[in-house]
Amino acid sequence: MIPIVPAIHRARAKRRGVAVLLALVAVSVATLLGLSLASSRDASVATSSNLSKVATVRAAAASGLDLANSILAKEDALAALDGAELFTKVLINGASVRAEVRDLETNRPATVESAAIEVIVYADADGVAQVARAVGRMPATDAPLRADLDCSEFALLGTGSISVLDDAHVGVWSASPLAVLGEPVRYGLASGSSSGLTVGHNASVHGCVAVRQGAFTQGSEEFEQSLADKLCPIPAPIHVPGAPIPLTSETTVAQPSLMLDGLVSHNASSSGDARVPARGSLTLRGTVTLDVGGNFFVERGARMFVEGAAVLVVRGNAVVDAGTVEVAPLGSLTIVAQGDLTLGTSFVGGARTNPSEVRDATGAASYDGGAARVMIYAGAESRVLVADGTVIKGQIYAPDARIDVESRSAIYGRILGKQVVLHEGVGLFYDPTLDARRGWSNRASGIWTETGVVQEAVRAITTLDDAALLDFAVKSGVEPDPPSIAEAAVVLVNESFTAQDFDERADDRASDRVRAQRKLLKSRLMQRVEALKRFHEQAVLTPIEGSGAGLTSQGFEWSREGDD
């Protein structure tokens, strides 16, 4: 008999070993596959995908900027805005694109009054979003109709001489909303000459251009060349009108002297001195004119707070000694000093929002409304001394006076004087919002005729008072930009004006013959305006820096899910 069972057993025994091996091989293969999967499981594919998406959306955002630039070149583009929205849900390369236009100064939706704008373009596709930003000045197409006569486009302008000593600094106020435009800061002599202009070897004037008499630059290449040469060519000597000298008010009864403390909300006048006593606190509310026949003192530790539009006329000397003069967000202050003006260890400017900022002379001070709300005029016999760490956020206009800024003081704004000396270690930080591009450096402004010659009426202005500006408006058909935002900045006899529309007032006061003449002048100016509009429409997408045309990109940023 054949032994069947042992044969079967032997066969099973052989197969059992093979099964184990097969199982082990299978496990090994699975392990190797798992390992290879684990080793290749990095973020490369996901990152590549993200990069691709981001690149697509970024390109759409960049195209959105071009589209916005093109739309903004059209007439009345800002008037047609829906809030801040320029366009929405425009499909570009599969991405949904939306654009907003905001006023660079206020961060509110841009209006026809906006001088500089920020365009923000949002592009969105496949859950990836990109934001592109660009800033630029709106083309000043109304420039031929307007003229900025107070030379506020210059950070430092001298009618006689300028000395910027070693370690003094002239530059842009970085906190100004228009500082991002990266425009050069202008300084020099009104004559356009280099003699009389002294800049110390170790003085810091980086990013500044000096005024020189020469033809305006044509196009971006010439502009860049003059920038590299650090020059600002202007074809003719700059005419600087004198500071206004208000007449004495006849309606206000003059007191022998004034002690100013507490709240003052009406006009006041004194034949003698006026003072804000030591550690006193004066608040000026509403439209107030203080006419001081003698000297004016803000004594040690005193605080003067301006809530409305205040004009302070000082017939004698004015001294602010370790005092504070602050202007509320909606207020303005105009100081007309006919004698000497001395400020020591003091602060004059917008009310400080940063409680830790006392007198920051480093250039990093908060903007707090900028330099436009404080205007200081000084007369022919004056000497202005800013010393001992004083900080002024405002403008000093003293074309016939000597101005000294010394001992670690700083001016945030601009200075115009006959002899200006910036001593060692002081700073002048220009606020670009003062430059409305309607002045001497813009060939299209109302200062220049179509042939590039200075209007005769411009040189006829003797002082920056209301009467002279109104006379200019009548003769030229051009509306002068008021030198101060104060409602009653310039006092004409007993009259002060709340409306600053010189054009309307000029028409009201003019005779029929003059009105007809103005109409003719206006029609010629409008032809220039139309030509300027056509130029800007043609020049769209080809920004010319310094010309006010075109936008400067500020780069891109992620908004969500775009992070790679």
Partner 1 sequence: MKCAARLRRSTALIAPRTRGFTLIEVTLATALLGVVGAGIVTFLGAFATGASARTRVSDPALEATLALRRLDAIAPDLRTVLAADKTSAVLWLNDRVPSRTVHLSELGCLRVDLERGELVLETIDESALASDRSLETEFEAGDDFLAAMESARTAGVLRTRVLAEGLESMRFSAAATRSAVVLEVGAAGATSGVVLSPAKPEEPLR
Q: Give me the residues that bind partner 1 (CB under 8 A), please.
A: 3, 5-6, 9-10, 13, 17, 20-21, 24-25, 27-28, 31-32, 34-35, 38, 41-44, 47-48, 51, 167, 169, 182-184, 202, 204, 206-207, 224-225, 227-228, 230, 362-364, 545, 553-557, 564
Radius of gyration of the chain (CA): 33
> Which H/E stretch holds residue 356?
none
**Least CB distance from residue 42 to partner 1, whole Å?**
5
State the helix-helix crossing angle for 466-476 and 512-538, rounded to 10 degrees.
80
* Between 49 and 267, CB nearer to partner 1: 49
As a whole number of angstroms, the distance between CA 23 and CA 74 comes to: 78
Q: Of 25 and 493, which CB lies nearer to partner 1 in the complex structure?
A: 25
Give the closest residue to 411 by CA, choosing from 352, 346, 356.
346
Least Å from the CB of residue 388 to partner 1:
20
Name the minimum Å distance from CB 169 to partner 1: 5
| CB-nearer residue toward partner 1: 35 or 380 | 35
Closest approach of Cβ 139 to partner 1, in Å?
Answer: 20
CB of 471 to partner 1, least distance (A): 37
What's the rounded Cα separation, in Å, for the pair 27 and 19?
A: 12
What minimum distance in Å lies between the beta carbon of 228 and partner 1? 4
The pair of three-digit structure tokens given for residue 393, joined into one six-digit string: 């956020």
Measured from the CB of residue 213, what is the shortest distance to partner 1 in angstroms? 21
Q: Are 329 and 307 in contact (CB under 8 A)?
A: no
**CA 212: distance to chain centroid?**
23
- Confirm if 119 and 65 have CB atoms less than 8 A apart: yes
Choose between 182 and 256: whose C-beta lies nearer to partner 1.
182
Residue 181 or residue 276: which is nearer to partner 1 going by CB? 181
Give Cα 523 to chain centroid, integer Å.
Answer: 31
Q: Reduced to 3 states, what is the DSSP secondary structure of residue 58?
A: helix
Q: How far is the CB of 362 from partner 1 (least distance, A)?
A: 6
Instruction: Tell me the C-alpha distance between 450 and 267, whole Å.
Output: 45
Size of the chain in residues = 564
Question: Between 400 and 545, whose beta carbon lies closer to partner 1?
Answer: 545
Give DSSP secondary structure letters for 377-434.
Answer: EE-TT-EEEEETT-EEEEEEEEEEEEEEE-SS-EEEEEEEEEEEEE-TT-EEEE-GGG
**Which residue's CB is nearer to partner 1, number 7 or number 380?**
7
Considering the complex, state which of residue 45 and residue 247 has its C-beta at the smaller distance from partner 1: 45
Q: Are 418 and 398 in contact (CB under 8 A)?
A: yes
